[in-house]
Amino acid sequence: MYRAIAANKRNTVIIMALFVLIIGGLGALAGYIYNDPIITIFVVGFAAVYALIQYFAASRLAIAVNGGREIQKKDAPELYRLVENLSIATGLPMPRVFIIDDPAPNAFATGRNPRHAMVAVTTGLLDIMDKRELEAVLAHEMSHVKNYDILVNMIVFGLVSAIGMIADLILRMTIFGGSNNDNRNPAMMIIGLVAIIVAPIVAMLVQLAISRQREYLADASGALTTRDPEGLAMALEKLKTASRPMKRQNSSTAHLFFANPMKAGFMSKIFATHPPLDDRIARLKKNEARM
């Protein structure tokens, strides 16, 4: 289990490095197309500022767009106590707790750091999970907080959005704005334009890869917290038959959830934010004997 955690952390660092290369490559292409190195600096700076804005604002937006309602202990005593106990077990500050009025069983954690963390569960999850399974799901979400996945997810979301905006802006300027450089290599220009179009797609695929790695990591960390990988496997098994799309379909926050909240379909499988439930269950059972 510890080896699985270490491997997933290494993979996430490698994947995050790809974002730096994508943004740097976009900046270099823009500088080449317009023969102006200042544009390269602007592109990288814009991406950094945009990611910083996301760092402070995205978590509150994620709660709002999914209809989260903050609760206190008197509103849902068992849920609140489970989160309190897991906070003590993990040595984390008590996060704010939210309930989403949605029959789809799901949950997510967000926030820029453990001191500003938020944990949200749907009414559908509370309806179908017993106490053991609910604790396992919450341990998974608290692991996202402890492992700083909530920070990684917010920054990654900001970078993906920034790359899309930058690529779109450069493409529009190239097509409609012209350039003061008449000696550009046509082949390089074509390569550059293709790269600008492809970059947002690659960035999104990188985001999906990070999301999948962090889900495996949270599964392993959550199982270590409760010492009950079977409980989490049981919760995932239950989702195989009870899972359904969220009422509020929001692709920008889909990667935050415990299970894929989007409607199933061909494209959703290709661009899935989560590993298959069967794979997650198999990993938990494989590592159960090692704990």
Active site residue 141: yes
**119/110 Cα distance (integer angstroms):** 7
Q: Which pair of structure tokens corresponds to residue 227? A: 């010492």
Contact assessment for residue 173 and residue 237, using Cβ atoms and an 8 Å cutoff: no
Contact assessment for residue 54 and residue 213, using Cβ atoms and an 8 Å cutoff: no
**135/71 Cα distance (integer angstroms):** 18
Contact assessment for residue 234 and residue 133, using Cβ atoms and an 8 Å cutoff: yes
Cβ count near 189 (within 10 Å): 16
Contact assessment for residue 240 and residue 222, using Cβ atoms and an 8 Å cutoff: no
Q: Which pair of structure tokens corresponds to residue 201? A: 């797609």
Cβ count near 94 (within 10 Å): 14
Catalytic residue selected from 133, 135, 141, 215: 141
- Active site residue ranges: 141
